[in-house]
Chain A
Amino acid sequence: MKIIAAMSGGVDSAVAAARAVEAGHEVIGVHLALAANPQKYRSGARGCCTIEDSHDARRAADKIGIPFYIWDMAEEFHDGVVENFLAEYAAGRTPNPCLRCNEKIKFAAVLDRAKAMGFDGVVTGHYARTEIGPMGKTLHRAVDPLKDQSYVLAVLTTEQINGAIFPLGDTEKVDIRIEAEARGLAVAQKPDSHDICFVPSGDNAGWLRDRLGSEVGPIVDQSGTKIGEHKGAYTYTIGQRKGLGLSVAAPDGSPRFVLKIEPVTNTVVVGAREELAVSKLFGEKTIWCGPSVGADPLRGFVQVRAHGAPLDCTYFFDGQRLIAELDEPLLGIANGQAMVIYDGDRVVGSATICESA
């Protein structure tokens, strides 16, 4: 096949491209320039859109022996990922920008462009597997549980999965580094990227404050009594305990947690830990990564964070919303998080949490 290898400049995408070449594909390396004003130097290990990263990607392509180009996706990234991230926080939700990037950029803008240009698909360094069986090509967890990225890929439709190649899903990260070393790739020991690539400082709260302002508002308890003040509601997360700066103790002396963020009134609601517990999740904007699910309840797992644990649940689709009933209650769920349903290690689909009970 003729495929585009999305190369971030990191070790994973470099090895993925090399493996695709070895598998007999005709591979062209592409680095996505996602920042309108790329920084000259990486700060720490963060970020994936610096000039140094594009240089690293180019050198990996040289070593592998494939052509290399840079695609400017800064506008698409800004509109589809960064703006969405801000809008979600402004609305009191907690988004995951990596999902949006996979949904809007890597397997949409890039895959569409690649197909239009006569390529068959896109290869990336994500840790996930695909299998071909009676249900067609399906998405599965990687063998390395610490690196598994199936959660952030659960926004891919069957068509997108058909155009995606994930060569690293069968290998543990530690072995990928060894393989990169053996292949002579200079990025073999390059640190992993962490956090959110467009917040190079790693200070999400500060980044949000700079863009959304820091309007002071009330912190209230569940009865609505004001017990403190916050500096910008969106810098808090559901379940947060530290950094609330409350001087008044709870009547029973127990610690208080953020229960709810109300953007319209700029209010943060706090309460006792038990109040955080939910046993039912409702999700909107459902995406099926394989066959769709109906109203008949099914047993499976739901995962609500990128590296969260899979939780036993019963799930079904009521025609509008994806609903998961948890066997054990869960603490600290924020609207905007993605709920990803697994059948064993197969990704069934995902939805954006809009309500929990």
Chain B
Amino acid sequence: MSVYLDHAATTPIFDVALDAMQIALRKVGNPSSLHTEGRSTRKDVEDARESIAKAIGCLASEVIFTGSGTEADNAAIKGLFWKSGKKVIVISSIEHHAVLDPARWLVEHEGAELIEIPVNKSGVIDLDFLRDLISKRGSEIALISVMHSNNETGVIQPIGDVVKLADDIPVHTDAVQSFTKAPLSYKDLGVTSMALSGHKVGGPLGIGALILRRAYEIPALLHGGGQEREIRSGTLNAPSIVAFAAAVASNQYRAEQVADLRERFESGLKTSVPDAYINGVSADRLPGIVNVTFPGTQSDSLLLLMDSESVSCSTGAACSAGVHRPSHVLLAMGHNEITAQSSLRFSLGANSTQADVDFALSVLPTVIARGRAANQK
């Protein structure tokens, strides 16, 4: 059998989404056109927008469709920075590159100053640090960005507390991993903006959304037809939008069921590889992500060996040449470069089964033994 345990990277498209997408792909009509066909496609898009708005707890007018979660993050980080006229960007030290890299780009090209909020050993941000920072330099801060949950460890961040501390400083949250998997409400959190992605929730690739407060306008990254509140131009990707909404509306992700599988995997791990440890184990985590350190191994060897046993998982970070690099997330949590490169991420999805978990557990002892042997110098 082959077992897919990399759902945090991308998860299979749901049948309902695929069906909706196929129907939409066969339709003609630019949603911005005024004729019958255009209006029909427009209706599909607006139905989808309302459906997603309902699921995330925002107004339909607050949903801006983008080409990806990365684009949504970029639009928010750059847009909020440019709008503010201030220079300090505050992000957590465990942000996804979709937030980290635009922030660094603004430092290099736009004179921004970047301050990172440290995390504790469990991977949760240090709110005292943030409180202190805001009390000292609050008036200089352009924006604060903290991800809702971390993509490598699944650790959920106290965004509500961040928003309270921030007061009137804009707060962005990358909620790509949390959406449909953990309780998440745009309205209740009170953030200024939020990034979502379609392919992490059973929708297709190439569609994301920026949720941005109504009447809160930011400079655009993409200029053109002005389709999405003048913040995002480009012909609306109706088939992907429709499929994204269909996936979300289907509520197929059963968080409790996935959490049970994770529990099964983690307790099995204790027996199969007793010295392995789970990163962020004591924190509030997403149901589907398990990040494990296997002392004395190198994760790229482990990935190859798992892959040969037909189990797909992830090493976390790789550079553009495909070379495995120590994860900045694990380093921020206190790992050294060696232990950070001895870790694998297993992520479960809506269609994961007990058999998947049991199979992965059954191959782990041999894989880890070989991985350890390969690491002897």
8 Å CB contact of A28 from B300, B304, B323, B373: B304
Instruction: Say whether B321 contacts A51, CB under 8 Å.
Output: yes
What is the distance, in angstroms, from A260's C-beta to the closest C-beta of chain B? Answer: 38
Interface centre among B301, B322, B370 (most CB of A within 10 A): B322
Instruction: Say whether B321 contacts A117, CB under 8 Å.
Output: no
What is the distance, in angstroms, from A107's C-beta to the closest C-beta of chain B? Answer: 15
21 CB-based A-B contacts, threshold 8 Å: A28-B308, A40-B320, A51-B321, A54-B321, A54-B322, A67-B307, A67-B308, A69-B307, A70-B300, A70-B324, A71-B300, A72-B300, A72-B324, A74-B323, A116-B370, A116-B375, A116-B376, A117-B305, A117-B371, A117-B373, A117-B374
B340-377 Cβ-contact flags toward A at 8 Å (1 or 0): 00000000000000000000000000000011011110
CB-defined contacts of B373 to chain A, threshold 8 Å? 116-117
Any A CB within 8 A of the CB of B303: yes
User: Given A28-B308, A117-B370, A117-B371, A70–B321 Cβ distance below 8 Å?
Assistant: yes
B residues 146-162 in Cβ contact with A at 8 Å: none
- The binding surface of chain B is classed by DSSP as helix
- Chain B residue nearest to A31 (CB atoms) is B322
Instruction: Say whether A69 contacts B303, CB under 8 Å.
Output: yes
CB-defined contacts of B308 to chain A, threshold 8 Å? 28, 67
The interface on chain B, measured as residues whose beta carbon lies within 8 A of the other chain's beta carbons, has a size of 19
A220-253 Cβ-contact flags toward B at 8 Å (1 or 0): 0000000000000000000000000000000000
CB-defined contacts of A118 to chain B, threshold 8 Å? 305, 370
B301-339 Cβ-contact flags toward A at 8 Å (1 or 0): 101110110000000000111111000000000000000
A residues 292-341 in Cβ contact with B at 8 Å: none
Any B CB within 8 A of the CB of A263: no
- The binding surface of chain A is classed by DSSP as mixed
Complex CA–CA separation, A71 to B305 (angstroms): 13
CB-defined contacts of B370 to chain A, threshold 8 Å? 116-118
Instruction: Say whether A72 contacts B301, CB under 8 Å.
Output: no
Complex CA–CA separation, A329 to B300 (angstroms): 51
Any B CB within 8 A of the CB of A63: no
Any B CB within 8 A of the CB of A38: yes
Complex CA–CA separation, A54 to B376 (angstroms): 26
Instruction: Say whether B303 contacts A72, CB under 8 Å.
Output: no
User: Given A69-B300, A113-B374, A117-B374, A38–B305 Cβ distance below 8 Å?
Assistant: no
Any B CB within 8 A of the CB of A168: no
Any B CB within 8 A of the CB of A33: yes
Instruction: Say whether A69 contacts B304, CB under 8 Å.
Output: yes
A residues 52-84 in Cβ contact with B at 8 Å: 54, 58, 67, 69-72, 74
What is the distance, in angstroms, from B22's C-beta to the closest C-beta of chain A? Answer: 28
- Chain A residue nearest to B373 (CB atoms) is A116
Instruction: Say whether A117 contacts B376, CB under 8 Å.
Output: no
CB-defined contacts of A117 to chain B, threshold 8 Å? 301, 304-305, 370-371, 373-374
User: Given A71-B300, A116-B370, A33–B305 Cβ distance below 8 Å?
Assistant: no
- The 4 closest A-B CB pairs, nearest first, are A116-B373, A116-B374, A70-B322, A38-B321
Complex CA–CA separation, A117 to B369 (angstroms): 9
Complex CA–CA separation, A31 to B300 (angstroms): 12
Interface residues on A, range: 20 to 34
Interface centre among A31, A51, A114, A116 (most CB of B within 10 A): A116
B residues 256-270 in Cβ contact with A at 8 Å: none
User: Given A116-B373, A118-B370, A33–B322 Cβ distance below 8 Å?
Assistant: yes
A25-51 Cβ-contact flags toward B at 8 Å (1 or 0): 000100101000010100000000001
What is the distance, in angstroms, from B39's C-beta to the closest C-beta of chain A? Answer: 44
8 Å CB contact of A72 from B323, B371, B374, B376: B323
Complex CA–CA separation, A38 to B320 (angstroms): 9
What is the distance, in angstroms, from B297's C-beta to the closest C-beta of chain A? Answer: 11
What is the distance, in angstroms, from A76's C-beta to the closest C-beta of chain B? Answer: 9
Complex CA–CA separation, A121 to B330 (angstroms): 34
Complex CA–CA separation, A28 to B307 (angstroms): 11
- Chain B residue nearest to A50 (CB atoms) is B321
CB-defined contacts of A31 to chain B, threshold 8 Å? 322
A109-136 Cβ-contact flags toward B at 8 Å (1 or 0): 0001110111000000000000000000
Complex CA–CA separation, A67 to B320 (angstroms): 19
Instruction: Say whether A113 contacts B301, CB under 8 Å.
Output: yes
CB-defined contacts of B321 to chain A, threshold 8 Å? 33, 38, 51, 54, 70
Complex CA–CA separation, A315 to B366 (angstroms): 48
What is the distance, in angstroms, from B279's C-beta to the closest C-beta of chain A? Answer: 21
Other contacts beyond A33-B322, A117-B371, A117-B374: 18, CB < 8 A: A31-B322, A33-B323, A38-B319, A38-B323, A51-B320, A51-B321, A54-B321, A67-B308, A69-B303, A70-B322, A72-B300, A72-B323, A113-B301, A113-B374, A116-B373, A117-B301, A117-B305, A117-B373
- Chain B residue nearest to A52 (CB atoms) is B321
- Chain B residue nearest to A57 (CB atoms) is B322
What is the distance, in angstroms, from A292's C-beta to the closest C-beta of chain B? Answer: 27
CB-defined contacts of B374 to chain A, threshold 8 Å? 112-114, 116-117
- Chain B residue nearest to A58 (CB atoms) is B322
Complex CA–CA separation, A58 to B308 (angstroms): 17
CB-defined contacts of B371 to chain A, threshold 8 Å? 117
Complex CA–CA separation, A54 to B323 (angstroms): 10
Interface centre among A28, A38, A113, A114 (most CB of B within 10 A): A113
Complex CA–CA separation, A116 to B296 (angstroms): 13
What is the distance, in angstroms, from B294's C-beta to the closest C-beta of chain A? Answer: 14
CB-defined contacts of A38 to chain B, threshold 8 Å? 319, 321, 323
CB-defined contacts of A58 to chain B, threshold 8 Å? 322
CB-defined contacts of A28 to chain B, threshold 8 Å? 304, 308
CB-defined contacts of A72 to chain B, threshold 8 Å? 300, 323-324
